[in-house]
A and B are shown apart, each in its own frame.
Chain A
Amino acid sequence: MTAVLVIEDDDRIRLALLLALEDEGYDALGAATAEEGLRAQRHHPADYVLVDLMLPGLDGFECIRQLRRDDDVPIVVVSARDGTDDIVAALEAGADDYVVKPVAIRELTARLRALRRRARPLAAASTPDPVPAVAFGELEISPEAGEVRRAGQQVTVTRTEFRLLCELAEHAGRVLSRQQLLQRVWGYDSGDERLVDVHVGRLRQKIEPDPANPRHLVTLRGLGYKLQR
C-alpha cells in the first residue's frame, strides 16, 4: 500500500485528510509538527509527504528543506496561503507541487498519481526500447539509469526535476511551452506556470556551469523552455 505522511498542525484538518486518504486506498499517517513529521519519515519513510506551511516550531519551508536533504520523496504543499512569495519559496525549498486549501480529495489524489508516474521514472516503466543516454555538451542524461552527470560527476536531482529534464531532452532543440511542461510533467490540464519556472530554476542550479547565464536549459521569452547542446 502506498504510504502518505500528512504534516498538518490543525487536528481536524489532519484527521479529515487522513480519513479521506485512507478511503482512497492510501496508508495515511499524520504528524502535528514538522519535528514529528521528520522523525516519522526517518523511521518509516512514506511514499509521499503532504505538508502545511504554517506549523508551530519548525515551519513548513524548513521542514521541506530538511526532508529534501535526506531523500527525494515527492513533497506536496497543502496550504491556505496562495501568495506568489509563499508558493515560490516552498517550491524553491524543494516541494514538487503546491495546492491551495481547500483542495478536493479527487484533485489531491490526482496530483499524487501524477507524482507517482514521475516518482518511478523509467526504471519501473518497462519501455520496450531502452532509451539511450543523451549528452548535451558536458551534461549527460541516462533515462534508463535515472542518472544525470555533469563533466562525469553525478548530479543529485529530485524525481520531478529528472522528469522535467527527460521531457526537455526528449524534445531536444525544440521549445516546450510552460503549459506543455505542466501537462507532461505534472499532469495539469491548466495550472500555475510558476511551478515550471521554479523547477527550471532549481534544475539550472544543478546542471548549468553558470546558472545566471544558462547555456543548455534556455528560456525563450513568451514561448517556453528549450534544452540544447
Chain B
Amino acid sequence: MRRLGLRTRVAAAFAVGALLLSASMALVSYELTRRSLLEDRERIALRAAYFDAAVVHAGLDTDSPDVVEVLRSLDTGGNRRPVLHLNGEWYARTADPGTTTAIPAELRRIVAAGEPAVQRVRVAGQPALVVGVPLSASAAYFEVNSLRELEQTFQVLALALTTVAVLVAGSGAALGWYATRHGLRPLTAVADAAGKIAAGDFTARLTPATDPDLTRLSSSFNQMVDQLARRIERDRRFAADVSHELRSPLQTLAAAASVLARRREHQDDRTAMAAGLVAAEIDRFQRLVNDLIDLARSDQPAHRAPVDVVELAEEACHAYDLPVGVVQLAPEVPPTWHVERRRIAQVLANLLDNAVTYGAGPAAVRLCRDGGSGVIEVDDDGPGVPVEDREAIFDRFVRGRAAHTRGAGDGTGLGLALVAQHAAAHDGHATVVDRPGGGARFRVTLPGSLP
C-alpha cells in the first residue's frame, strides 16, 4: 500500500484527536444530564405518589370503600397510573389495563416490608418509573409513571451531542489540513524551485524567508543552487575550452594531412601508407571530438521547429550513398514534424551509420507515429542485437561485437549514445528490438512532434 502523504496523516491525526475529545465530552455531559433529569423525575414522582397515597388512604378509611371509585377520583393526568394492592387483591382503574403486572416482585416485597421504594422498569416496551408507598399492613399504593417523554428528550440530546462531536472532528481535520498547508508552504516553494532548476532554469531561488525558522532552509537551498550553477557553468566552460584546444591543433593536422595526401605519388610506399594512416586517424579524431562536444551539449532541451523529416531522411541516405527508396512515410503521417533539425539529422545519420557498419545496410527507414509522437525506425539485415546488450548499446564508447571481429574500428563509439541523448532532449527515448524476419530494428520516439 502506498504511504499516505504528510498532509493527510496530519489532518487525520487532528480529526481523530478532535473526535476523541468531543466524544468524551459529549458522553460525560450526556451521562450527567441524564442522571440529574432522572433524579429530578424520581423526586417529583415520589412526592406525587405520597400525595396520592394520602388521598387513597383517606378514601379507604370509610366502612365500605369503593376502591375503584377512590382510584378514579385521583387527579393523576395521563402520565401516572395508580395501582392499589389491598388484602391480597390488585385494583386499578379500568382505563389502565395491564398495569398490575408491571409492578416488579422485588419492589412489592420492599413496600410490603413497610418501606417506600422506586424502581425503573419497562412496561409494554415503554420505559416507566414505578413508585410504591405502603399504606397499612394489608394495603400498598403504587404508581406507574411513564418516562416516554424523558426518553425522547434523551434521544434528542444524544443526537445533538453526536452531531456536535462529528462536526468538531470534521473541523479538526479541516484545521489540520489548513495548518499543514501553511506548514508545508516552504516545502512547496522548495519543490517549485527544484522543479525549475531541474528544467534548466538556474536563476530560480527561494525568497529569503521572513520567518526566522525557515531562513536556514532557504539560505542553504540557495547556496546549493549557486554552487550547482557555478559547477555547471565551469563544466560548460571546460567543454568549450577543451573543444577549442582540441580543434585548433586538429586544424593544423587536417591541413597538413591534405598536403601529404596530394603528394602521395611522390612518396615511397611506406611513407604513403603512414601518411594514409595519419589522415584516417585525424579524420576519426575529428569525428570523436565533434561527437564528444555534441554529447556534452545534448543534455539541453531541443529547439523545436517544423522540419520536413522525409527530406531529412532522404538527405541522410544520400550522404551514405543509399537509395532514397528505403525511406518510407507511413500513411496519414504528415511529413513535417516539430523537432530540432540538427539533432534529428544526426539521429538519422548515426542510425544509418550503425546499420551500414553492423547491420549489413539499412533495409528500411520508416517514419511513423504513435499518438502525438513521431517514431523513426531503422531496420537492418544484420545479426540483430542480443537481449543482454540492448541497453548497454546506447552507452558511451560501447561498440558492437561486429566491430571487433571486423577490425573496422572506424566508429567513435558515441553514435548511439548521441541518438539516445537527442531522443531524450525531445522527451523521448531510443530502443532496439528484433526486426520481424531477422535483423535489428532501432526505434526513436519523439513525443510532441506531431499534432
Interface residues of A, Cβ cutoff 8 Å to B: 10, 12-13, 15-17, 19-20, 23, 78, 80-83, 100-106, 179, 189-190, 193, 222-223
Q: Which B residues, 156 to 188, have Cβ-Cβ distances below 8 Å to chain A?
A: none
Query: Which of B248, B258, B318, B341 meets A106, CB within 8 Å?
Result: B258
The answer on a CB contact under 8 Å between A101 and B248 is yes
A/B pair count, beta carbons within 8 Å: 71
Report how far A202 CA is from B110 CA in the complex, Å. Answer: 120
The answer on a CB contact under 8 Å between A105 and B254 is yes
Chain B residues positioned under 8 Å from A13 (CB to CB)? 248, 251-252, 255
Chain B residues positioned under 8 Å from A15 (CB to CB)? 252
The answer on a CB contact under 8 Å between B311 and A80 is no
Report how far A117 CA is from B247 CA in the complex, Å. Answer: 29
Q: Contacts A80-B243, A83-B240 known; A19 to B255 CB distance under 8 Å?
A: yes
Interface residues of B, Cβ cutoff 8 Å to A: 240, 243-244, 247-256, 258-259, 262, 282, 286, 293, 305-306, 311, 315, 318-319, 336, 341, 345
Query: Which of B244, B258, B306 meets A20, CB within 8 Å?
Result: B258
- Report the minimal beta-carbon distance from A131 to chain B, rounded to whole angstroms: 29
Chain A residues positioned under 8 Å from B258 (CB to CB)? 20, 23, 104-106
Report how far A76 CA is from B251 CA in the complex, Å. Answer: 15
What are the 6 A-B residue pairs with the smallest beta carbon separation, nearest first?
A16-B255, A222-B306, A102-B250, A80-B247, A105-B258, A20-B255
Query: Which of A81, A105, A193 meets B255, CB within 8 Å?
Result: A105
- Report the minimal beta-carbon distance from B251 to chain A, rounded to whole angstroms: 4
Chain B residues positioned under 8 Å from A10 (CB to CB)? 248, 252
Q: Contacts A16-B259, A80-B247, A179-B311 known; A104 to B254 CB distance under 8 Å?
A: yes
Query: Which of B243, B249, B259, B315 meets A189, CB within 8 Å?
Result: B315
Query: Which of A83, A101, A190 meets B315, CB within 8 Å?
Result: A190
Chain A residues positioned under 8 Å from B247 (CB to CB)? 80, 100-102
Report how far A105 CA is from B311 CA in the complex, Å. Answer: 28
The answer on a CB contact under 8 Å between A23 and B262 is yes
The answer on a CB contact under 8 Å between A101 and B255 is no
Report how far A122 CA is from B293 CA in the complex, Å. Answer: 41
Report how far A81 CA is from B306 CA in the complex, Å. Answer: 27
Chain A residues positioned under 8 Å from B341 (CB to CB)? 193
The answer on a CB contact under 8 Å between B306 and A103 is no
Report how far A15 CA is from B345 CA in the complex, Å. Answer: 34
Report how far A189 CA is from B243 CA in the complex, Å. Answer: 25
Chain A residues positioned under 8 Å from B345 (CB to CB)? 190
With A13-B248, A101-B251, A222-B336 given, can you name 7 additional A-B contacts, CB distance below 8 Å?
A: A10-B248, A78-B251, A80-B248, A101-B248, A105-B258, A189-B315, A189-B319
